[in-house]
């Protein structure tokens, strides 16, 4: 093990101890949450004088399961790179074991807030925002296919470099590899995603929701609809009108504002319901079964629905 690796291993072990404390108690006050998605929070970690953004993955059932995951994680980044989308440099590192089961984290260098696309757009006037949107949508359109999926929400993109109004964009949300083989089989073990849901809910989601949830990421129209709807969540509605026009230059049938809004509202309701059910499950595990709950929950994601 090199020095860097030893330092990283120690930092992750320390973080995992804090995560376990947070899971045993309530809340995650000991942890510095820098971003909150629907599945798991992104935490800040310091190691060797540098800052990292890390995400704790669901606990893997075996080393083989972890290796399969790492393979799909790498394959996804390679496929994105081939399609012209560089990713932030990311590693999967095992922090510890629970029994024989590896507890792993996705580790990325912490990006400067000013590099995040959400923050960029917040500071843009309508005209540069249009140019920016144009470039973003071109990239998305060139990536998304039946074989390669993308969660293209603005919060998943960052600016690698910028010169004379040309942006080189990078992608950061890599822990759910969205790739299919030629017979339409997902590269990702979808059970891993389901593991974060209450056990009673899994068969239902597996049977009735998973296919549709995943299908949305492989279809340009749905991907852009989702991106547009999310501008509402990010309080970036000022750009919704302009970006809807950009999207409609790339998809048929055209998206209407009411479709974008109603989809966003429906999506927000679905995720809010899932989060509520996960919190109920957590209460059940903690207070009735008297055992720590296995996942950090994004406790209060703001959702704007009107
Ligand atoms: N490397 C990073 N540097 C700085 N901020 C980051 C980094 N990675 C993530 N973030 C912040 O955390 C937010 C959520 O990250 P990300 O999209 O990876 O997770 P997520 O949406 O919670 O994913 P999922 O719900 O699919 O697990 C980002 O939008 C960003 O604000
Ligand atoms: Mg994300």
52: which strand partners?
45, 109
Q: What is the pLDDT of residue 44?
A: 96
Q: Of 32, 42, 169, which is best to mutate to test ligand 1, by the most ligand atoms within 8 angstroms of its C-beta?
A: 42
Ligand number nearest CA of 39 is 1
pLDDT tens for each residue of 266-296:
988 888 888 888 888 888 887 777 787 888 8
pLDDT tens for each residue of 84-129:
999 999 999 999 999 989 999 999 999 999 999 999 999 999 999 9
Q: Of 28, 34, 35, which is best to mutate to test ligand 1, by the most ligand atoms within 8 angstroms of its C-beta?
A: 35
pLDDT tens for each residue of 142-190:
999 999 999 999 999 999 999 988 999 999 999 999 999 999 999 988 8
Of 220 and 275, more confident: 220
Question: Is residue 127 included in any domain, yes or no?
Answer: yes
Which structure tokens are listed for 270? Answer: 């679905």
Question: Where is the domain boundary, 62, 93, 109?
Answer: 109
Q: Is the peptide bond before 11 cis (omega within 30 degrees of 0)?
A: no
- 36 with 59, same domain: the answer is yes
Question: Is residue 180 included in any domain, yes or no?
Answer: no
Q: What is the pLDDT of residue 306?
A: 41
**What number does the ligand 1 atom closest to the CA of 39 have?**
25
Q: What is the dihedral of CA 87, 103, 271, 150, to 10 degrees?
A: 20
Q: For residue 130, count CB atoms less than 10 angstroms from its CB and return exposed for 0-12, middle for 13-18, buried for 19 or more.
A: middle
pLDDT tens for each residue of 23-55:
887 555 678 999 876 677 899 999 999 999 999
- Under 8 Å CB-to-CB from 137, ≥6 apart: which residues? 224, 243, 246, 247, 250
Q: What is the pTM of this model?
A: 0.91
Q: Return d(Cα 245, Cα 118) in angstroms, integer.
A: 19
Question: Where is the domain boundary, 89, 109, 129?
Answer: 109
Question: Is residue 187 included in any domain, yes or no?
Answer: no
Span from the CA of 154 to the centroid of ligand 2 (angstroms) = 8
Question: Where is the domain boundary, 92, 109, 126?
Answer: 109
Q: For residue 253, count CB atoms less than 10 angstroms from its CB and return exposed for 0-12, middle for 13-18, buried for 19 or more.
A: exposed
- 101 with 125, same domain: the answer is no
**Is the CB of 274 within 6 Å of ligand 1?**
no
Question: Is residue 293 included in any domain, yes or no?
Answer: no
Question: Is residue 186 included in any domain, yes or no?
Answer: no
Question: Is residue 21 included in any domain, yes or no?
Answer: yes
- 15 with 81, same domain: the answer is yes
Of 17 and 287, more confident: 17
- 103 with 121, same domain: the answer is no
Q: What is the extent of the structural domain holding 43? A: 3-109
**Is the CB of 205 within 6 Å of ligand 1?**
no
Span from the CA of 173 to the centroid of ligand 1 (angstroms) = 6
Number of domain units in the chain: 2
At residue 304 the predicted structure's pLDDT band, cuts being 50, 70 and 90, is very low
Which structure tokens are listed for 42? Answer: 């992104």
- 139 with 223, same domain: the answer is yes
Of 136 and 19, more confident: 136
At 104, which CATH number? 3.30.200
Residues 182-199: what's their mean pLDDT?
88
Span from the CA of 172 to the centroid of ligand 1 (angstroms) = 7
Span from the CA of 174 to the centroid of ligand 2 (angstroms) = 9
Question: Is residue 63 included in any domain, yes or no?
Answer: yes
Span from the CA of 288 to the centroid of ligand 2 (angstroms) = 33
Q: Where are the beta strands (DSSP E) in 133-272?
A: 157-163, 166-171
293 and 197 in contact (C-beta within 8 Å)?
no
- 268 with 283, same domain: the answer is yes
- 231 with 161, same domain: the answer is yes
Q: Write the CA distances from 112 to 115, 147, 175, 277, integer angstroms.
A: 5, 32, 20, 34
Residues 189-203: what's their mean pLDDT?
86
**Is the CB of 35 within 6 Å of ligand 1?**
yes
- 15 with 54, same domain: the answer is yes
- 75 with 14, same domain: the answer is yes
- 88 with 155, same domain: the answer is no
**Is the CB of 156 within 6 Å of ligand 1?**
yes
Mean pLDDT of the chain: 91
- 79 with 38, same domain: the answer is yes
Which structure tokens are listed for 186? Answer: 């997902």
223 and 140 in contact (C-beta within 8 Å)?
yes
Residues 202-217: what's their mean pLDDT?
88
Q: For residue 122, count CB atoms less than 10 angstroms from its CB and return exposed for 0-12, middle for 13-18, buried for 19 or more.
A: middle
Q: What is the pLDDT of residue 302?
A: 42
**Is the CB of 66 within 6 Å of ligand 1?**
no
Count of all residues that appear for the chain in the document: 306
- 98 with 120, same domain: the answer is no
Q: What is the pLDDT of residue 305?
A: 45
Question: Is residue 300 included in any domain, yes or no?
Answer: no
At residue 1 the predicted structure's pLDDT band, cuts being 50, 70 and 90, is low
**Is the CB of 108 within 6 Å of ligand 1?**
yes
């Amino acid at each position: 093990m090199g020095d860097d690796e030893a330092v990283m291993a120690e930092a992750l072990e320390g973080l995992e101890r804090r995560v376990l404390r947070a899971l045993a108690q309530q809340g995650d006050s000991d942890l510095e949450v820098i971003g909150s998605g629907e599945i798991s929070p992104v935490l800040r970690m310091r190691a060797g004088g540098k800052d990292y953004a890390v995400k704790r993955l669901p606990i893997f059932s075996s080393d083989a399961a972890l290796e399969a995951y790492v393979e799909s994680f790498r394959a996804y980044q390679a496929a994105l790179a081939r399609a012209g989308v560089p990713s932030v440099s990311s590693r999967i590192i095992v922090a510890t074991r629970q029994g024989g089961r590896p507890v792993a984290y996705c580790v990325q260098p912490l990006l400067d807030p000013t590099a995040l696309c959400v923050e960029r757009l917040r500071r843009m006037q309508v005209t540069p925002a249009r140019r920016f949107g144009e470039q973003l949508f071109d990239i998305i359109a060139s990536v998304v296919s039946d074989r390669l999926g993308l969660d293209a929400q603005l919060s998943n993109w960052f600016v690698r470099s910028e010169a004379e109004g040309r942006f080189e964009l990078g992608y950061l949300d890599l822990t759910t590899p969205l790739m299919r083989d030629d017979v339409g089989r997902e590269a990702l073990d979808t059970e891993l995603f389901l593991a974060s849901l209450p056990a009673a809910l899994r068969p239902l989601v597996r049977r009735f929701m998973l296919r549709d949830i995943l299908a949305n990421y492989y279809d340009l129209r749905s991907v852009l609809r989702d991106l547009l709807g999310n501008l509402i969540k990010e309080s970036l509605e000022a750009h919704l009108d302009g970006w809807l026009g950009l999207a409609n230059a790339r998809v048929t049938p055209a998206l209407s504002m009411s479709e974008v809004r109603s989809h966003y509202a429906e999506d927000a309701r679905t995720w809010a319901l899932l989060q509520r059910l996960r919190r109920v499950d957590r209460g059940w595990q903690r207070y009735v079964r008297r055992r720590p709950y296995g996942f950090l929950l994004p406790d209060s994601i703001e959702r704007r629905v009107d």
